[in-house]
Amino acid sequence: MRDAVTSLIKNYDVAGRYFDRIAIDNLKGYFESGTARIKAAAAINSNAAGIVKQAGSALFDEQPELIRPGGNAYTTRRYAACLRDMDYYLRYATYALVAGSMDVLDERVLQGLRETYNSLGVPIGPTVRGIQIMKDIVKEQAASSGVTNTSFIDEPFDYMTRELSEKDI
């Protein structure tokens, strides 16, 4: 797993180049957003269970067929598995927020996940929607904790939803 700094250094090292203006600006932006990233992570960490619970409730209110008989979150075991997965996505989104890099999501979450869900009959649409609901909740909580520009919070959540979404072949 790499962060934004080590990824940038690796790319320039492989190319045998010194940092150019773009690299310096990327580093500057990463370090300038450091405090906001930490505040957002602290907001998530202090209420992760509440975020997952609130997102799960919102998802099941929007898509009640999921918790009805025959639905993918029907039965206590499946319902708990859904919330467990949401917690997993939230935790790794937090890591990606702090790192300023999506590498951890590729390495630890997304690799083969869509194929696994498809083989198990887990619907991707509600998973994607649940991740987006969590993003909105996290942005609200980060703003409440004093983060003025919450746009960086979009990146890991949107990255996961893009990678999980069905793709035309």
Contacts of 90 (CB under 8 A, 6+ apart): 44, 48, 51, 52, 134, 138
134 closest CA partner among 74, 164, 90? 90
CA-CA distances (angstroms) from residue 162 to 21, 110, 114, 156, 167? 29, 10, 11, 10, 9
Residue 78 vs residues 15, 29, 125: alpha-carbon distances, Å: 48, 41, 16
Q: Any binding-site annotation on 77?
A: yes
Annotated ligand binding at 72? The verdict is yes
Question: From the centroid of its chain, how far is CA 2?
Answer: 16
Does 82 show up as a binding residue in the annotation? yes
Which positions make up the binding site for (2R,3E)-phycocyanobilin?
72, 77, 82
Which positions make up the binding site?
72, 77, 82
